[in-house]
Amino acid sequence: MKHLLSIEELDAPTLNALIDSAVTLKAERGNHSTQPLAGQTWAMIFTKSSTRTRVSFEVGVRELGGSIMFLSSNDIQLGRGEPIKDTARVLGRMIHGCIIRTFDQQDVVDFSDFSEIPTINALTDEEHPCQILADLLTVKEKLGTWEGKKCVFIGDGDNNMSRSWIWAAKYLGFELVVAAPESCQPPKDWMDKVNAPNVTLTSDPVEAVKGAHVINTDVWLSMGQEGQAEKEALFGDYQVNAELLSHAADDHIVLHCLPAYREKEISEAILELHADTIFQQAENRLHAQKAVLAAIAQ
């Protein structure tokens, strides 16, 4: 494994191996038997701000023996219009790997091609692979497995989180229902490309949640969509709250990748009721990403 650019490019054995590695690395934290990034310097290039992504990667690289530098778009020539391929060819001669959080998926792909160094997608508008790995780790810890479980994603069905969950469901085989307004569902040609009969789309959140074990939500408006009141107004019936969860399985868990907008996509009461799981999910970004870094370093 040289890069992590998307969940789409992975497969079931790789996903399972990464989760198993994350379990081990979490248990061994502070007492790792090896430091696979010893002697390496990694960079993070962020054009989208972050709390969990930045802190978890900085800590993770250091705990695996490497050093890391943070580069916002204002710190480097990308912010003045330098093409990503030129930045990539410069950094590829100086560092050992790069973690990129940006808007365009093609920028991450181009950086990996032109730099010829390991590249990790820390979020694009297309996918959020690191978050999905943390989510799967949390499901494993809380429920033991995702096999035979019904998972639901509620909110914008055509954002980076929902698309990444759909790819994960395709490869791992669990049932996934995406509940979203019809105009916010993945296009038919995209779903045809995925070709996952275990993934269902619906505009009925109550029907989606019936018997569900994992209920996952995200902000209604992704970064760059702030202020789109017309789109936000579509989600009035899609809040994760006590009434909606009354239809879920008794042993259900609630996930949210954070930051959360209380009383919008999730009620204050439900977020606090499930805070232990949600903030365990946030912590698991560290362990899942360390598993990715360790796999790349092999």
Query: Where are the alpha helices (H) located in the chain, listed in sequence order?
Result: 12-27, 52-63, 84-91, 105-115, 129-143, 160-172, 188-194, 205-209, 229-232, 242-245, 268-273, 275-297
Enzyme catalytic residues: 101, 128, 131, 218, 257, 285
Q: Where is the binding site for L-ornithine, in residues?
A: 160, 218, 222-223
Contact 293, 36 (CB under 8 A): yes
Q: Which residues are CB-neighbours of 264 under 8 A, at least 6 positions away?
A: 219, 220, 232, 235, 239
CA distances from 164 to 62, 109, 115, 236 (A): 27, 16, 25, 24
- Strand ranges of the sheet holding 199-202, from the earlier edge strand across to the other edge: 199-202, 175-179, 150-154, 214-217, 253-256
**Residues in the annotated binding site:** 50-53, 77, 101, 128-131, 160, 218, 222-223, 257-258, 285
Residue numbers belonging to the annotated binding site for carbamoyl phosphate: 50-53, 77, 101, 128-131, 257-258, 285
- Exposure string of 213-246, with b = 16+ CB inside 10 Å and e = fewer, is bbbbbbbbbbbeeeeeeeebebbeebbbbeebbe
Cα–Cα distances in Å, from 110 out to 73, 81, 105, 106, 186?
16, 15, 9, 6, 25
